[in-house]
Amino acid sequence: MPQTSATAPAARTPSGLREAHCHIGAFGAALSLPSVSECASLGECLARVTALCAVAKPGQHVRALHARPLAWPEGRWPTLAELDAAAGAAPVVIMSFDHHQGVCNSAMLAAAGLSAGQRVGPKGEVVSDAHGVATGLLMEHAAYAAWEASPGPSVEESLSHLRAGLRRYLELGFIEVHDLRTDLRLAEALVAMDLSGELAGELGMRVELFPLVQDLGPIVELVQTLRPARVRVAGGKLFADGTLNARTALTLTPYAEALPGLPMGQAMVTPSQVDDALRACDALGLPLAVHAIGDGAVRMILDALARVRPVAMGQRIEHCELIDPADVPRFAELGVTASVQPCHLLTDLPALTRLLPQSLGRVLPVRSLIASGLTPGALVRGVVFGSDAPIVRPEPIDSIVGATRGGATGSASAVAGLDRLSPGEAIDEATAWRCFEPG
Ligand SMILES: [Zn+2]
């Protein structure tokens, strides 16, 4: 049930918040790139491409983020011919909001050296039609190949992106951000900013790092050597499955429109690899934060935690967008923190209702997790909120709307149909804000 009332107080101005899951470098970079998120149709997207190409320098690659073609009335990507007509000679690539697909024009195919039907990396494909002609659609690594065909940012540009990202978080009321896949270059930049006093002063931010388990060594050493005051290695990161929109999140029941050969999505690791990752982090005195979106992946990680019983506190499951009811109490029993992004319900609603209609009752059971012993906002045996920016925008109100299923004060933008997603798991607005507050 929506929990707001006509007499509810005005929406609070957020301050002192923690973003528990973002990609701060990529978020800062995305702020400087064009976005088609405001385009309401395929036609508007093509018009935006034409406008961007009109001001591009000769030979410059035109890149835009955040396409959501399933939300457009046309319900599809532009064709290669449409994009060629809109772009002219400029190479153009547009990335989907979840970074699992993209579309490009003929000039970009040539610039990136991609050809129809080509396989790129483990899951990438330059999609072709029945006649073997490229459609412009790029899957997974093929989309990254087109995206990365333009020269990357300089060190100075990366630093200015990082500052822009942190500044935006500050404006939104955050004082702490967790970066969930930190590489050495980002860690070095953050440590340098801390040592120069920038993080304590102008930006006023604490940053917690979660490098991939295999990247932990040099980053732990960097932080131990230079001892920054506001940057800390807080854990390792591991990916257990894919995503719901891509139908690769590992589920316990089949997808309505499964990928060929993947009726219930895909595990990215074996159980013994999860055990090894838990032990490697535990040896460093660190918890592991595991990306697990589907209920199958969540169970896989809880099983591993029950087997390995790591000593480090604050083990985390990231996303856990679907949880089998039998697994809900296991979080508290095993001392696990659920690091969730209720804001994703606003955008995952079409995918969830179309692909996993049988699972709508097990979407983000935050109320049950709290009732079973998790503490809102706690990093040990807690429920913490984040956005996964730049996948979606980091405005905290979006997760308040998601967690209350549209019942939040001031949420005029409540999404139609949100209350179809496990409505009994809605929490009240005050509890939802506590999930953003550092203890
Ligand atoms: Zn993430």
The domains found in the chain, sorted by start residue, are: 17-23+180-434 (3.20.20.140), 26-147 (3.10.310.70)
Round the CA-based radius of gyration of the chain to a whole number and report it. 22
The Å distance, Cα 203 to ligand 1 centre, comes to 23
The Å distance, Cα 5 to ligand 1 centre, comes to 34
The Å distance, Cα 39 to ligand 1 centre, comes to 24
Average pLDDT (332-337) is: 98
On the question of pLDDT at 2 being above 50, the answer is no
Tell me whether residue 5 is exposed, middle or buried, using C-beta atoms within 10 angstroms of its C-beta: 0 to 12, 13 to 18, 19 or more. Answer: exposed
The Å distance, Cα 42 to ligand 1 centre, comes to 27
pLDDT score for 3: 38
pLDDT score for 5: 38
The Å distance, Cα 21 to ligand 1 centre, comes to 6
Confidence of residue 15 (pLDDT cuts 50, 70, 90): confident
The Å distance, Cα 294 to ligand 1 centre, comes to 14
The residues, ordered by sequence, that sit 6+ positions from 428 with a Cβ below 8 Å of its Cβ are 3, 404, 407
**Which amino acid, one-letter code, is at 241?**
D
The Å distance, Cα 20 to ligand 1 centre, comes to 10
The Å distance, Cα 241 to ligand 1 centre, comes to 12
pLDDT score for 410: 55
CA distances from 287 to 63, 123, 188, 213 (A): 37, 30, 22, 10
pLDDT score for 11: 55
The Å distance, Cα 134 to ligand 1 centre, comes to 31
The Å distance, Cα 43 to ligand 1 centre, comes to 30
Count of C-beta atoms within a 10 Å radius of residue 336: 25
Average pLDDT (239-253) is: 93
The Å distance, Cα 283 to ligand 1 centre, comes to 24
On the question of pLDDT at 13 being above 80, the answer is no
The Å distance, Cα 236 to ligand 1 centre, comes to 13
Confidence of residue 413 (pLDDT cuts 50, 70, 90): low
On the question of pLDDT at 333 being above 70, the answer is yes
On the question of pLDDT at 281 being above 90, the answer is yes
pLDDT, one tens digit per residue, over 166-200 is 999 999 999 999 999 999 999 999 999 999 999 99
